[in-house]
């Protein structure tokens, strides 16, 4: 049976060109960046090249890119290090109610340490209000952390406006761009972003590597203590193969962005139009201000988990809620934040398209999904009582 992968929001396959670029760094060019000999220099040159590709993609300077073990570490570093290094200025951090657990739980940890955290509400499409943000800022506010696009519902925030508000108020601004780097144009200068986190495995790079952009002059130190790697800002022998892969993935993303976005947007809109023909179902998030490959629906009277199982039987890989929380039975905090009742949140389905998905695959989903929904509703006591 042909398998159709519609879970690119969880992770993506490593691009063949990326793998090819990485391979020599496992077996031939395996030097440690800290070594002074030619092997070390070769590795250093490779990560410098990757840093340049990444910096170019977000309009930053190469020295402002710090490699990490992924998005989670980059989020932790940004928030904790701003908090710990700017205590003399204040102890208030503003974030939103729909952040990824990497941000949400870092903020909860800081709350236990005495920091004051404001979790901004979002509207029914998932947008943070800049006016609300302005009202929440106090003299104690040191950091605002708002994600660029949400991993579940795909909503893209007005980052430029948020950045402007932070700049005017002299507050550091961090944004989690794990879902957007390589998919949506990013310019850290235009967006007034001071810190930005990303991860390679969402853009056809390998797992276990990410970066934090830190604007020059930002008061920050290393989260992980040890050697003097990454200019003293992230200890630990560099993951050279991973970084090389990330650099290549960013280079390819930049070359292919326009074509890829058009392809993804067309497929997404076809999918949305087709799925919305099913009775008692709706789209979560905004119709157009959303990630090019993201579609998130709620179906009344059924459980997202059963939907996933039946789709999986037909070869279709999707998710309900976010990948990182599928083992929990709590309704998604993102879906409840946009106003869904717990039972409506449980009936959600996230389909995230990738560059290699085709129209035929979308047609297949549009044929299979209504049949599954009908079958599940026939079995559902909730549907019978409607």
CB of 70 to ligand PLP, least distance (A): 3
The least distance separating ligand PLP from the CB of residue 108, rounded to whole angstroms, comes to 15
CB of 335 vs ligand PLP, minimal distance in Å: 15
- How far apart are CB 7 and ligand PLP at their closest, in Å? 11
Taking the complex as a whole, how short is the minimal distance between the CB of residue 151 and ligand PLP, in angstroms? 3
Q: Which residues contact 247 (CB under 8 A, 6 or more apart)?
A: 46, 47, 49, 50, 51, 52, 53, 54
Nearer to ligand PLP, 219 or 286 (CB): 286
Q: How far apart are CA 295 and CA 152, in angstroms?
A: 9
Nearer to ligand PLP, 75 or 251 (CB): 75
Cβ atoms of residues 68 and 51 within 8 Å: no
If the CB atoms of residues 210 and 247 are measured against ligand PLP, the closer one turns out to be 210
Nearer to ligand PLP, 31 or 205 (CB): 205
Instruction: Give the count of beta carbons closer than 10 Å to the beta carbon of residue 134.
Output: 11
CA atoms within 13 A on the CB side of 76: 14
Q: How far is Cα 10 from Cα 323, in angstroms, rounded to an integer?
A: 6
Taking the complex as a whole, the smallest distance from the CB of residue 14 to ligand PLP amounts, in Å, to: 14
**Dist CA 65 CA 55 (whole Å):** 7
CA distance 166 to 143: 8
Smallest distance, ligand PLP to C-beta of residue 102, A: 4
What's phi and psi for 161, nearest 5 deg? -65, -45
DSSP alpha helices (H): ranges in 196-239?
Answer: 229-232
Residue 130 dihedral angles phi and psi, to the nearest 5°:
-65, -35
Q: Are 82 and 106 in contact (CB under 8 A)?
A: no
Query: Which residues are annotated as catalytic?
Result: 324
Closest chain position to ligand PLP (CB):
71
Nearer to ligand PLP, 333 or 377 (CB): 333
Q: Which residues contact 81 (CB under 8 A, 6 or more apart)?
A: 220, 221, 222, 223
In the bound state with ligand PLP, the residue whose beta carbon lies nearer, of 178 and 307, is: 178
Q: Where would I find the H helices in 276-380?
A: 304-313, 333-337, 342-346, 359-379
Which residue, 125 or 343, is less far from ligand PLP as judged by CB?
Answer: 125
**What string of DSSP letters covers 145-190?**
E--SB-TTT-BBP-HHHHHHHHHHTT-EEEEE-TTTTTTS---TTT
Long-range CB pairs of 337-341, under 8 A, 24+ apart, other chains included: 337/97, 337/98, 337/121, 337/122, 337/126, 338/98, 338/122, 338/123, 338/124, 338/125, 338/126, 338/153, 338/284, 338/285, 339/124, 340/284, 340/298
- Contact positions vs ligand PLP (CB under 6 A): 70-72, 75, 100, 102, 147, 151, 176, 178-179, 199, 210, 323-324
Least CB distance to ligand PLP at residue 201 (A): 6
Q: Which is nearer to ligand PLP, 31 or 126 (CB)?
A: 126
């Amino acid at each position: 049976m042909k398998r159709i992968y519609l879970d690119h929001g969880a992770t993506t396959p490593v691009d063949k060109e990326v793998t090819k670029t990485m391979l020599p760094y496992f077996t031939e060019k395996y030097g440690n960046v800290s070594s002074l000999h030619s092997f070390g220099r070769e590795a250093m040159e490779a990560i410098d090249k990757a840093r340049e590709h990444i910096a170019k993609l977000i309009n930053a300077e190469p020295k402002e890119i710090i490699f990490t073990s992924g998005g989670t570490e980059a989020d932790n570093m940004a928030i904790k290090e701003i908090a710990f290094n700017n205590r003399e200025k204040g102890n208030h951090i503003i974030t939103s109610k729909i952040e990824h657990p990497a941000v949400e739980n870092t903020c909860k940890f800081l709350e236990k340490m005495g920091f004051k955290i404001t979790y901004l509400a979002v509207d029914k499409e998932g947008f943070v209000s800049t006016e609300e943000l302005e009202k929440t800022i106090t003299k104690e506010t040191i950091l605002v952390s708002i994600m660029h696009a949400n991993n579940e519902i795909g909503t893209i925030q007005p980052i430029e406006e948020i950045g402007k508000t932070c700049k005017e108020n002299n507050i550091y601004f961090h944004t989690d761009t794990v879902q957007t780097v390589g998919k949506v144009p990013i310019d850290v200068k235009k967006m007034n972003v001071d810190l930005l986190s990303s991860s390679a495995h969402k853009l056809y790079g390998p797992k276990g590597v990410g970066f934090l952009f830190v604007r020059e002059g930002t008061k920050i130190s290393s989260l992980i203590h040890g050697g003097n790697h990454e200019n003293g800002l992230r200890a630990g022998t560099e993951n050279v193969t991973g970084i090389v892969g990330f650099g290549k993935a960013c280079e390819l993303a930049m070359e292919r962005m326009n074509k890829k976005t058009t392809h993804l947007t067309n497929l997404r809109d076809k999918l949305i139009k087709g799925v919305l023909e099913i009775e008692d179902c709706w789209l979560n998030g905004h119709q157009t201000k959303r990630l090019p490959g993201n579609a998130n629906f709620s179906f009344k009277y059924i459980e997202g988990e059963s939907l996933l199982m039946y789709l999986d039987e037909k070869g279709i890989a999707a998710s309900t809620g976010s990948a990182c929380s599928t083992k929990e039975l709590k309704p998604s905090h993102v879906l409840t934040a946009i106003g869904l009742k717990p039972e409506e949140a449980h009936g959600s389905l996230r389909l995230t398209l990738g560059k290699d998905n085709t129209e035929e695959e979308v047609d297949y989903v549009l044929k299979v999904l209504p049949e599954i929904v009908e079958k599940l509703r026939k079995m559902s006591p909730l549907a019978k009582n409607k």
